[in-house]
Amino acid sequence: MNMKFYMTPGSCTTGIHILLEEIGLVFEAYLVNLMAGDQHKEGYLTINPKGTIPTLVREDGTALTEFQSIAWWLAKTYPKRKLLPDTLEEEVRVLEMMNYAVNTIHGQGFTRIFTTEKYSTNPADYDAVKAQGHEIVNNAFLIVNDFLVRRDYLVNHFTIADAALFYVEFWANRIEIALPENCQAHYQRLLKRPAVKQVLMEEGYGSLFR
């Protein structure tokens, strides 16, 4: 059977979608409508009891969840695509930056901006929560910006960490958060990759290329 990829266009799953296309895998895509609560429905929970995205059901029928786990599995399973570097030092840097993008920029920053109500039951607190989210995102991008000095990618070539960084850069662009210079250059560089362009076209963001 083909792998099954459970995704939401424009979400963190876009990063995994890019990796699947970079590798050239054949897979079946299933849309999870977060706004409609698909992630909490019984059919999806039998696949991923966490009720989260992304989920990748592999050819043996077992499911992988969490961005980092899926990305790591793809890189290790298809080493010819060189989605991880060759040296241990650079490999741990990839893991470091991927986790920072997913856990801090996304998990601590953008969640406060996009799902503010999860942080307070009092609407009077929402502006402060969102402001904190913006502060976390902006400060984190400054750290990544310094890491990208004189680098086209997070290490010497495109890796799973770049896919993670791309989706949070994409979010920043969509809600008009100004990226620092090196992050903006990284974002524009990835937009030129054929796999990235294909994924964004498929997910309904073709206007970026007009």
Task: Name the band, by pLDDT with cuts 50, 70 and 90, for residue 210.
Answer: confident
pLDDT tens readout for residues 163-192? 999 999 999 999 999 999 999 999 999 999
61 and 142 in a single domain? The answer is no
For 55, how many CA atoms within 13 A lie in the half-sphere containing its CB? 21
Domain span holding position 113: 88-193
> Any idea which residue has 């909490």 for tokens?
40
Strands 63-65 and 27-31: unpaired
Could you read off the pLDDT of 22-42 as tens digits, one per residue?
999 999 999 999 999 999 999
Average pLDDT of the segment spanning 121-143? 98
Q: Give the DSSP per-residue string, 89-150.
A: HHHHHHHHHHHIIIIIIIIIIIHHHHSGGGT-S-GGGHHHHHHHHHHHHHHHHHHHHHHTTT
Helix (H) / strand (E) containing 7: strand 3-7
Q: Does residue 135 form part of some domain? A: yes
User: Which residue type, as a one-letter code, is found at position 125?
Assistant: D
Asked if residue 175 and residue 92 are part of one domain, the reply reads yes
Long-range contacts of 175-181 (CB under 8 A, 24+ apart): 175/113, 177/134, 177/137, 177/138, 177/141, 179/141, 180/141, 180/142, 180/145, 181/145
Does residue 140 lie within any of the structural domains?
A: yes
Strand partners, 28: 4
110 and 133 Cβ atoms separated by less than 8 Å: yes
160 and 84 Cβ atoms separated by less than 8 Å: yes
| Residue 92 sits in the same domain as residue 189 | yes
CATH number of the domain residue 27 falls in: 3.40.30.10
Cα-based distances in Å from 116 to 79, 135, 137: 39, 14, 14
- Number of separate domains in the chain: 2
The yes-or-no verdict on residue 1 having pLDDT over 80 is no
pTM above 0.75, yes or no: yes
Return the HEC string of 15-72: HHHHHHHHHCCCEEEEECCCCCCHHHCHHHHCCCCCCCCCEEECCCCCEEECHHHHHH
